[in-house]
């Protein structure tokens, strides 16, 4: 193993992942498990125990977790992890790994960081990274530096309103992008129209083989993402949007209607050449981005 080994955590509403990452951003080993409804902190501790055993020396800890959160204190209240409200996740790790840096940021911000550092966003100064999955999140890198915002929650594009009369959202609002484009919302929308499958993966498969309702569900999500992206790009003058997550993994059935709608919406010269691409680091992106919080200098950790 290399000189500096970071313990990286990627904590989401559907899955927990932990990994050991070296100082070049390579994931040396990792463990994954479903996020249990009760006491997810116990499952997380068990995964860490299994990963590091007694032999590994951890130099620092980087954590990506679903939002919202208080930051940099790292108390988390993820919309999709109901067991945690104002849960002291950073402190839990800081106690175990005392004396070492322990940093926590939003998981979608970590994806944006990972893609900027090692993936599809390398060499791009201004980008938005998005996750379209069980939830919809985002993170910004502007001028080659992560933008955390006043409370660490900048980039929450999932809760930008794309349809003022749209469905009620988990955040308490209405018509948010997440309420329309999150995986469970696509599945529910398709089932109401006669599609008989159970989850987002099956829905993507149905869309790929030409099922009309499934294709329409992804097209609807893609158009909603485009509306939010057009707004963000116009506000922030971006060059690139990188989209990861399970729903984005469906590929063209999402990206084709997304790009078409974006082209129709983003008409000013400086947004017309905006590129929207799939994330390139796959399921490791969350771990790589979390590790970058402690590995890649001030550009990915704007406080200290
Ligand atoms: Zn919302």
- What distance in angstroms lies between residue 183's CA and the mean position of ligand 1's atoms? 14
- What distance in angstroms lies between residue 225's CA and the mean position of ligand 1's atoms? 14
pLDDT at 3: 60
Overall pTM > 0.85 = yes
- What distance in angstroms lies between residue 172's CA and the mean position of ligand 1's atoms? 6
pLDDT at 67: 85
- What distance in angstroms lies between residue 33's CA and the mean position of ligand 1's atoms? 27
- What distance in angstroms lies between residue 118's CA and the mean position of ligand 1's atoms? 30
Q: Tokens at residue 71, please? A: 């930051």
pLDDT at 2: 46
Residue pair 131/46 in contact by the 8 Å Cβ criterion: no
Show the low-confidence residues of the chain (pLDDT under 50).
1-2
- What distance in angstroms lies between residue 188's CA and the mean position of ligand 1's atoms? 17
**Residue in the structure block whose two tokens are 């050449």:** 273
- What distance in angstroms lies between residue 46's CA and the mean position of ligand 1's atoms? 32
- What distance in angstroms lies between residue 230's CA and the mean position of ligand 1's atoms? 18
Cα distances (Å, whole numbers) of residue 181 to 2, 19, 166: 41, 29, 11
pLDDT at 190: 98
pLDDT at 13: 86
pLDDT at 117: 96
Beta bridge partners of 136: 132
d(CA 210, CA 212): 6
**Residue in the structure block whose two tokens are 């402190």:** 91
- What distance in angstroms lies between residue 97's CA and the mean position of ligand 1's atoms? 35
pLDDT at 172: 93
- What distance in angstroms lies between residue 178's CA and the mean position of ligand 1's atoms? 6
- What distance in angstroms lies between residue 156's CA and the mean position of ligand 1's atoms? 9
b/e 59-78 (16+ beta carbons within 10 angstroms → b): ebbbbbbbbbbebbebbbbb
- What distance in angstroms lies between residue 171's CA and the mean position of ligand 1's atoms? 4
- What distance in angstroms lies between residue 165's CA and the mean position of ligand 1's atoms? 13
- What distance in angstroms lies between residue 176's CA and the mean position of ligand 1's atoms? 5
């Amino acid at each position: 193993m290399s000189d500096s080994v970071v313990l990286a955590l990627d904590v989401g509403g559907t899955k927990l992942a932990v990994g050991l990452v070296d100082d070049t951003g390579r994931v040396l080993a990792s463990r994954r498990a479903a996020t249990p409804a009760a006491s997810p902190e116990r499952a997380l501790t068990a995964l860490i125990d299994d990963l590091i055993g007694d032999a590994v020396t951890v130099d620092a800890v980087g954590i990506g977790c679903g939002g919202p959160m208080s930051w940099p204190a790292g108390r988390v209240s993820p919309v999709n992890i109901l067991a945690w409200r104002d849960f002291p996740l950073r402190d839990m790790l800081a106690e175990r790994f005392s004396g070492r840096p322990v940093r926590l940021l939003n998981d979608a911000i970590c994806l944006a960081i990972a893609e900027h550092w090692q993936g599809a966003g390398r060499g791009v100064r201004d980008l938005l990274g998005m996750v379209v999955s069980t939830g919809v999140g985002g993170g910004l890198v502007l001028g080659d530096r992560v933008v955390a915002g006043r409370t660490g929650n900048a980039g929450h594009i999932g809760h930008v309103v794309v349809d003022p009369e749209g469905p009620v959202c988990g955040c308490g609002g209405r018509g948010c992008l997440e309420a329309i484009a999150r995986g469970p919302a696509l599945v529910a929308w398709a089932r109401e129209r006669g599609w008989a499958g159970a989850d987002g993966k099956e829905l993507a498969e149905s869309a790929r083989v030409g099922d009309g309702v499934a294709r329409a569900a992804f097209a609807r999500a893609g158009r909603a993402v485009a509306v939010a992206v057009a707004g963000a790009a116009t506000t922030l003058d971006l060059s690139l949007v990188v989209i990861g997550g399970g729903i984005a993994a469906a590929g063209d059935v999402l990206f084709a209607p997304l790009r078409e709608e974006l082209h129709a919406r983003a008409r000013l010269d400086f947004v017309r050449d905006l590129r929207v691409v799939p994330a390139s680091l796959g399921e490791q992106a969350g771990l790589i981005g979390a590790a970058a919080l402690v590995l890649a200098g001030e550009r990915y950790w704007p406080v200290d």
